A and B are shown apart, each in its own frame.
Chain A
Amino acid sequence: DAGITQSPRHKVTETGTPVTLRCHQTENHRYMYWYRQDPGHGLRLIHYSYGVKDTDKGEVSDGYSVSRSKTEDFLLTLESATSSQTSVYFCAISESLAKVEKLFFGSGTQLSVL
């Protein structure tokens, strides 16, 4: 299994509070991604990173920010959590954009915003 650790695994928070989710990899892969998974929507890309301090928006980036200060860590921040951000969040990594089949996922973070 690819070395991807997401923390926390579960979190319950209140509307309006800031939340940070962490993705840590031990594979030294250049590309990292944050997805959210919701019933009826599948997986949707929030943000991705193509290197240290290099990030870009995905399909559903509103209300989220990211940071990548080290190759191994990719942080997702909800500045002011809303109930619509209750979801399961997955981090993924890839070695190369060209190797489209080599996308590895973490085990997910279940976030509940009350």
Chain B
Amino acid sequence: AQSVTQLDSQVPVFEEAPVELRCNYSSSVSVYLFWYVQYPNQGLQLLLKYLSGSTLVKGINGFEAEFNKSQTSFHLRKPSVHISDTAEYFCAVTSGGGYQKVTFGIGTKLQVIP
């Protein structure tokens, strides 16, 4: 079985400050990891993904995440946030076999304070 834990339900941060959103996963096999972003009243959009290769992955809007197998983590980071980054962020994991086996975290609400 696979699972994903997002450790923070809400993260307030001042504009232009750095931010880290934490995600830990568990799986007995190799995994693919994702971060999705959901802006108010919209569906989820893929922010970045780790499938294989380099453990540091870069996504859209200046976000990046690092896959750490030993710590079973996939934390999302941005060095300087903007007001427009205010949204909810979801970590997701799958060990393959199609989307019916994708497990989403409960989400982290990022609130950027002017």
A positions within 8 Å CB-CB of B:
4, 31, 33, 39-45, 48, 56, 58, 90, 92, 94, 97, 100-101, 103-108
Given A58-B100, A97-B99, A100-B51, A42 and B42 touching (CB < 8 A)? no
Residue of B nearest to A38 (CB): B106
B100 to chain A, nearest CB (A): 5
Q: Which residues of A contact B98 (CB under 8 A)?
A: 31, 97, 100
Contact indicator B45/A92 (Cβ below 8 Å): no
B positions within 8 Å CB-CB of A:
32, 34, 41-46, 49, 51, 90, 94, 96-100, 102, 104-107
Mostly helix, strand, loop or mixed at chain A's interface? strand
Contact indicator B94/A107 (Cβ below 8 Å): no
Contact indicator B46/A42 (Cβ below 8 Å): no
Given A105-B44, A107-B41, A43 and B104 touching (CB < 8 A)? yes
Contact indicator A31/B43 (Cβ below 8 Å): no
Residue of A nearest to B50 (CB): A101
The complex places the Cα of A9 from the Cα of B10 at a distance, in Å, of 26
Of the candidates A42, A48, A94, A104, which one forms a contact with B90 in the assembled complex, judged by CB atoms under 8 Å apart?
A42
Q: Which residues of A contact B43 (CB under 8 A)?
A: 4, 90, 92, 104-108
The complex places the Cα of A107 from the Cα of B44 at a distance, in Å, of 8
Residue of A nearest to B32 (CB): A100
